[in-house]
Structure 1
Amino acid sequence: MEETLTIIIDETKKNERLDKVISESEWSRTQVQQWIKEGHVLVNGQKVKSNYKVSIGDEIQVTVPEAIEVDILPEDIPLDIYYEDSDVIVVNKPKGMVVHPAAGHTTGTLVNALMAHCKDLSGINGELRPGIVHRIDKDTSGLLMVAKNDMAHEKLVEQLVAKTVTRKYEALVHGVIAHDVGTIDAPIGRDKKDRQSMTVTDENSRHAVTHFKVIERYKDFTHVECQLETGRTHQIRVHMKYIGYPLVGDPKYGPRKTLDINGQALHAGVLGFNHPRTNEYIELTAPTPPEFNDALKFIKNR
């Protein structure tokens, strides 16, 4: 059964962040922030954000979701490992693999493979997403860093928040981009007409910035490098569509007539970060996979 907790703010708590106040109970701050985002936390009957500063007399109602039993099993799935030590593992995720278990994808995920390979993964994101610091879409290939302990997880997340992680992608897009370089600074939020999609909007959105540069132009297509400054859901796919150059093969944001390559032509090829323990900068590069190269070859030969 769901449990409901009520907290009344007094003098000792005023002006503190909402997530901090609640996490002083038995739950982690990350868990509390997720509950706030999902609407399980109300302040005076209203939904607010995690950074809301509480006032004396505020009534906070926390509805703790009923625990869902999960049984995520290790699976002997080969991993393309680019770096590994006792704190971090960086893998090159293939196109078509889901990062962590979710509805409809309880097996065959990167997490299932990692659980078979690693004895320990950080527990900050809970049972369904152990070790997962950031994600890439199912049909996007490329480099992903995973934390083996909570210290590493926190340090890597701090770098993502501070925008010091290098994340460069290669993409094939429809249309010929005239500018050699550009920056897309446009907020991204849920599409009110389709809750499964994201869009550029001013309503309930988050700041999003993508830098791009042209690698090569072809008839009707452009090969680009995109560098993330922020990491919003479907960011590159949404931003490139927004400026009129949707990704080749993208079933959600691309045009009806596109190349049938089983998902978007997008590859996370470069990942750079400071090691969470030594602070040494590590940068790794993974080449584009065969399906990306096949699409590029087809475009070149048109």
Structure 2
Amino acid sequence: AKYRIKTGDRIVLSIYPPSTSGIEAESIPLKIIYEDEAMLAVDKPAGMVVHPAPGHAKGTLVNALLNHCSDLSGIGGVERPGIVHRLDKDTSGVVLIAKNEIAHRSLASQFKNRKVKKTYLALVRGVVKSASGIIETSIGRHKTNRKKMTATINQGRQAETRYKVLETLGHFSYLQLFPKTGRTHQIRVHLASIHHPVLGDKLYGGLITGPYLMMPRQALHAHRIEINHPVNEQPLVFEAPVPPDINNYLVAYRQNLNP
């Protein structure tokens, strides 16, 4: 313990693979959009949590990933191997995963520096009057409900979301959304702030009841991600098709409006 290292000394280090802290690999089907030696892109279904957390020890995307590929980046921590970014439990769509540290650093840097182009699709309550627009409000933690975020003026973190109306369906609108930033619940909070919450979003006012109005979860889908490959820097585009629950809702309302 008292030895001082001198010039010319040889130091031998043993590097062990990152521990997964007892996280179990589970045989859960994965919808793989793309995979190579550096990364994966998967289509996460609604209802699946991205990584283990209190109350969600099993059945997560990480549990499924460990069964598919045990070699994942450890930079995200023992509970989040390979995870570069997240989607909310009830949001479906594209998620990127890093297989090694080089890929993780590159992907994380692109997200941090806003080099990633993200496109979401959402069904929202009400008729959005402007064909397109930009929502710019800061987002911070709700004062009384710690599970909830809120749009703020002088507090929180700056956030920006562009939107485009694709279709109007009676009392609902179908939107394409382009978040510039990646704050917690950003799209959900921004849409609620302009009084058009995501359909089915219990937390932010999108829940509607009735035999023809039920949406089993928030109708928000991460449809497309554009990013550069973490190793060769080639541009990549990943898309996840509109899931059946949202598509069925669209079809039903189109038929109702055009019998």
* TM-score calculated relative to the size of structure 2: 0.87
Q: 1:276 aligns with which of 213, 230, 240?
A: 230
2:37 corresponds to which residue?
86
2:220 counterpart residue number: 266
Verify the 8 A CA contact 2:33 2:41 in the aligned structure 1. Answer: yes
Question: Residue 197 in 1 paired to residue 162 in 2?
Answer: no
Using the alignment, how far apart are the partners of 1:122 and 1:156 within structure 2?
Answer: 11
The residue identity in structure 2 corresponding to 1:267 is H
1:66 is aligned to none
Query: Quick check: 1:189–1:203 contact (8 Å CA) kept in 2?
Result: no
Tell me the residue number matched to 2:100: 149
Where 1:194 maps in the other structure, the secondary structure is coil
Q: Please, which of 60, 65, 76 is the counterpart of residue 125 of structure 1?
A: 76
| CA displacement at 1:212 relative to structure 2 | 0.4
Residue 125 of structure 2 corresponds to 174
1:295 is displaced (CA, Å) by: 1.8
In structure 1, what is the Cα distance between the partners aligned to 2:56 and 2:98?
22
| Cα gap change, 1:169 to 1:256, in 2 (>3 Å) | closer
Q: Deviations over 1:173-192 (max 9, x none)?
A: 01111111111111101000
Structure 2 gaps of 5+ residues are: 1-19
TM-score, normalised by the number of residues in structure 1: 0.75
Please give the secondary structure, in 1, of the residue aligned with 2:76. coil
* 1:90-105 matched pairs, under 5 angstroms: 90-105=41-56
Letter in 2 for 1:268: A
Report deviation, 1:200.
0.5
**Alignment match, 1:72:** 23
C-alpha RMSD of matched pairs (Å): 1.4
* Structure of higher RCO (CA pairs closer than 8 Å, 6+ residues apart): 2
Distance 1:224 1:281 in 2: 25
The sequence identity of aligned pairs, in percent, is 48
How many positions carry a matched residue from both structures?
234
Tell me if 1:252 matches 2:241: no
Deviation at 1:263, TM superposition (A): 1.3
Q: CA deviation at 1:249?
A: 0.6
- The answer to whether structure 1 residue 206 and structure 2 residue 157 are counterparts is yes
CA offset digits 1:269-291 (Å, max 9, x no partner): 10110001000000011110101
Note if contact 1:80-1:92 (Cα within 8 Å) is conserved in structure 2: yes
Q: Give structure 1 stretches of 5+ with no counterpart.
A: 1-68
CA distance in 2, matches of 1:218, 1:261: 15
1:23-55 deviation digits (Å, cap 9, x = unpaired): xxxxxxxxxxxxxxxxxxxxxxxxxxxxxxxxx
Query: Are 2:189 and 1:235 equivalent residues in the alignment?
Result: no
- State the shift of 1:204 in Å: 4.8
* Inter-partner Cα distance in structure 2 for 1:256 and 1:173: 10
Q: CA deviation at 1:101?
A: 0.3
Name the SS for the 2:191 alignment partner: helix
Q: Distance in 2 between matches of 1:275 and 1:71?
A: 31
Indicate conservation of the 8 Å contact 2:199/2:207, yes or no. Answer: no
**Does the Cα contact within 8 Å between 1:221 and 1:299 map onto a contact in 2?**
no
Q: What does 1:12-51 correspond to in 2, within 5 Å?
A: none
